[in-house]
Amino acid sequence: MASTAVYTVEGMSCGHCVNSVTEEVSGVNGVTDVKVDLENKKVTVTGEGRIDDSAVRAAIDEAGYEVAG
pLDDT of residue 1: 80
pLDDT digits (tens, 9 = 90+) for 4-32: 999 999 999 999 999 999 999 999 999 99
Centre a 10 Å sphere on the Cβ of residue 38 and count the other Cβ atoms it contains: 15
For the chain, where are the E strands, in sequence order? 2-10, 31-37, 42-48, 66-67
pTM of the model: 0.94
What class does CATH assign to 2-67?
Answer: alpha beta
DSSP 53: H
Residue 37's Cβ-count burial label (10 Å; 0-12, 13-18, 19+) is middle
